[in-house]
Structure 1
């Protein structure tokens, strides 16, 4: 990213999509494992939420990693609420601590030097990656999947169309 506002526009859309996916998770399906080597929806949702403060702290956006040692909430709705709270805090922190001209500045991230603009790109790519994993798990568990970049299979009928195979 070379512009804070470009990132914030993308982040806002992506965060809304993530909250939309989280909202389809039920308390009964939170901890279900579809395979021993696949994370539960609870773990993936909490990982995405914790990544906001973990990466945000490493990137100098937050003074601490507030969620590092916080236990996963007991209810799916709480996951959505906490995620949304920290996604919004990320926007405020970026607006107050980053500038367009500083997006090429280097920050130590995971033993490497990353441009601040790259950090912002990775935040979105990381979230999109795990959100995709979540939708596959949701399908396996029989949960409805919300469309993010277009209608999901379940949503085609709302447009009076048959979902493609």
Structure 2
């Protein structure tokens, strides 16, 4: 749980940057990758991350502009990545402008549960982390190089001329 807006912003910067690296590595041809035909495609998961961030913030009481045409999943990986870049910046600006350290302790009913506003921001971070993990699995299945998030990926170890540590 966050005790200051600055704490959230620093965490958001790191997690959003990691998510941006993953989104920037997508290709148009990879977007149709899914685990199975009845599951979300890589494009759908990526677009969900992009479009649900403003939706969640609005639910939490932070006013931000929703993504235009959010119900239509783009066929362009670049469009998805570029839209997240804007959403990420808007997220930081809106939280900094609309909430204070003191307001993080205020209770908010979200999704039928009462919780401190600081917890809602933790949910936002955990949400993008969760879906970023799903995307990296689908990226691997699609044959893409997966960027490292909390350390080098298998692909990055290889690029450094090293063998990835054994499991």
Fold shared, TM-score > 0.5 on shorter chain = yes
Closer/same/farther in 2, CA of residues 68 and 113 from structure 1, 3 Å limit: farther
- Residue 132 of structure 1 is matched in structure 2 by 133
Contact 1:3 1:103 in 2 (8 A): yes
Shift of 1:157: 2.8
Closer/same/farther in 2, CA of residues 22 and 66 from structure 1, 3 Å limit: closer
Shift of 1:73: 2.1
Q: Secondary structure at the match of 1:108?
A: strand
Aligned length: 165
Unaligned 5+ runs, structure 2? none
- Residue 107 of structure 2 is matched in structure 1 by 106
- Residue 82 of structure 1 is matched in structure 2 by 83
Q: Counterparts of 1:54 and 1:88 in 2: how far apart (Å)?
A: 15
Unaligned 5+ runs, structure 1? none
- What's the RMSD between the two structures over aligned residues? 1.6
For 1:1-40, list aligned pairs within 5 A: 1-40=2-41
Contact 2:32 2:43 in 1 (8 A): yes
- Residue 151 of structure 2 is matched in structure 1 by 150
- Compare 25-34 and 15-24 and name the one that shifted more: 25-34
Shift of 1:112: 1.3
Closer/same/farther in 2, CA of residues 66 and 60 from structure 1, 3 Å limit: farther
Contact 2:26 2:144 in 1 (8 A): yes
Q: Counterparts of 1:119 and 1:87 in 2: how far apart (Å)?
A: 16
